[in-house]
Structure 1
Amino acid sequence: MNIYAHRGNSGFFPENTICAFKKSLDLGVYGIELDVHKTKDGILVVHHDETVDRMFDGKGYIKKLTLEQIKELTIKDDEYKDNPECKIPTLDEVLELIEPTNLNLNIELKNNKIAYKDIEKDVVALVKKYKMEKRVVISTFNVKSLKKLSKLNSKIKTAYLVSALTFKRGGLKKALKTCKDCKCTYIHPSYDLVNKEFVDEAHKKDILVQVYTVNSITIMRKLIKFKVDGIFTNYPKIINTIVND
């Protein structure tokens, strides 16, 4: 089973920072998951929210801030505010960190609320720069984006992200059809949507199931029984121990 460190080793260190990613390198997991936006000046940066407010001492949307402005921000967590590795990193910086390792990477495009121009093309270009096409999965809730990705580079695997809201609109049958139409290798559902039927139906259609965000040992044990193909967790070391126990 593929175990991904969700936003890095985020259960113990500030999410989506170089610090959290470095703390994931020696955990023996399959890969790291992160989120990508674009700045006002068109740079790909790694951060979950559309705005910087929750984690950093600034305000505003990433799309309205330049990289220089973003790099000036200080994390709110007092324990890490003087740590230079707890800034918002660029995707370039993270790929440079991960490339020499044997880790895989799940890059989530945060374009379900904001339509960042050419984000698919820019992410694919960076992945190619580091020759990591076979080690990267690009995921998104955005169906149009998945179709663009399938045309840009067939070597890079893609994943359709599915939330409870998405699922209500069409259920399992529609979600799996979307995966096929968009040539996705994976479907990435929220853990509360997953049961044996979900996994069995996906596997029948040759679609792999990787589940987010699994931080409960009880839920993890259920997913093992359902034979999911991967999970995303904030506690990769703990979950990895259970899977390989």
Structure 2
Amino acid sequence: MTLIFAHRGSAGTHPENTMSAFKEAARVGADGIETDVQLSKDGEVVIIHDEKLNRTTNASGFVKDRTLMELKTLNASNSYKGKMGNERIPTLEELLIWLKNNQLLCIIELKNTLFLYPGLEEKVIRLIRSYEMEERIIISSFNHYSLVDCHQLAPEIETAPLYRDGLFMPWIYAKAIGGSAIHPNIRVASDIIIQSSMCAGVPVRPYTINKESDMKRLYSLRCSAIITDFPGIAKRVREEFE
């Protein structure tokens, strides 16, 4: 069965990367969630996608220039213009505490391409281990040097490279850097790439799958998983397909 990961929670229906988006993903029956982490000015692991605050909050400037206390005063549902009230930027620890009460899997994307965030890998791994979530977490990133570091620090935690351009035999590349799966952009996830990777024992989880036609194609291939902004729709289409 193709697993459904809710991209930044149920980002198509709720403010992305907020607890309401994660809870909605659980409510509609997603198998897992995908989220993004960065470091605050005082070194706390916070959940937010953009390096800048402008798009998703009522503030401007960089995440890295605000302390956790300052970040917690912001409204993270800015893109919904008050339709869902105030949402706070969660910490990774808050998310892990919530995950302890369910069975969802979780992809954690390290947002460390624009800013390297020294110590991010160690802090994320320490939190995962402290909540005994090693078997349910997948660490992913466009920064593949960071994934190598994570694999060396915690070989028991799955890693998977994110990529948006075509790679030759990406399943071999993933294994070469200690990865266990690949997370390609849907544009470079052809049928043959998906099938060849899965045949090699390397799961494929393309992003961001929001069209029903793409969902049906991937379900027909028995693709390992999809990452979607609309987990509720993906669940309905999967049930109809089955």
Deviations 1:124-179 (A, max 9, x none): 11011111100000101111111111111122111110113xx2xxx323x33330
**8 A contact 1:34–1:108 mirrored in 2:** yes
**8 A contact 2:171–2:181 mirrored in 1:** no
- Aligned: 1:231 with 2:226: yes
Figure out how many residues of one structure are paired with residues of the other and give that number: 237
Counterpart Cα distance in 2 of 1:78 and 1:201: 44
Consecutive unaligned residues in structure 2, runs of 5 or more: none
Deviations 1:71-99 (A, max 9, x none): 1112423335743xx11111111111111
**8 A contact 1:195–1:226 mirrored in 2:** no
TM-score normalized with structure 1 length: 0.92
- What root-mean-square deviation, in Å, do the aligned CA atoms of Structure 1 and Structure 2 show? 1.4
Aligned pairs for 1:39-188 (under 5 A) are 39-74=40-75, 75-76=77-78, 77-80=80-83, 82-83=85-86, 86-164=87-165, 167=166, 171-173=167-169, 175-188=170-183
**Aligned-residue identity in percent:** 33
Q: Counterpart of 1:109 in structure 2: which amino acid?
A: L
Describe the SS at the equivalent of 2:204. strand
Q: Counterpart of 1:172 in structure 2: which amino acid?
A: F
Deviations 1:102-139 (A, max 9, x none): 11111000112210111111101101111110000010
Consecutive unaligned residues in structure 1, runs of 5 or more: none
Deviation at 1:20, TM superposition (A): 0.9
Counterpart Cα distance in 2 of 1:43 and 1:15: 19
Counterpart Cα distance in 1 of 2:68 and 2:83: 20
- Aligned: 1:242 with 2:222: no
Describe the SS at the equivalent of 1:21. helix
**8 A contact 2:38–2:110 mirrored in 1:** yes
List, as ranges, runs of 4+ consecutive aligned residues in structure 1 with deviation greater than 4 Å.
none
Deviation at 1:207, TM superposition (A): 1.0
TM-score normalized with structure 2 length: 0.93
- Aligned: 1:16 with 2:17: yes
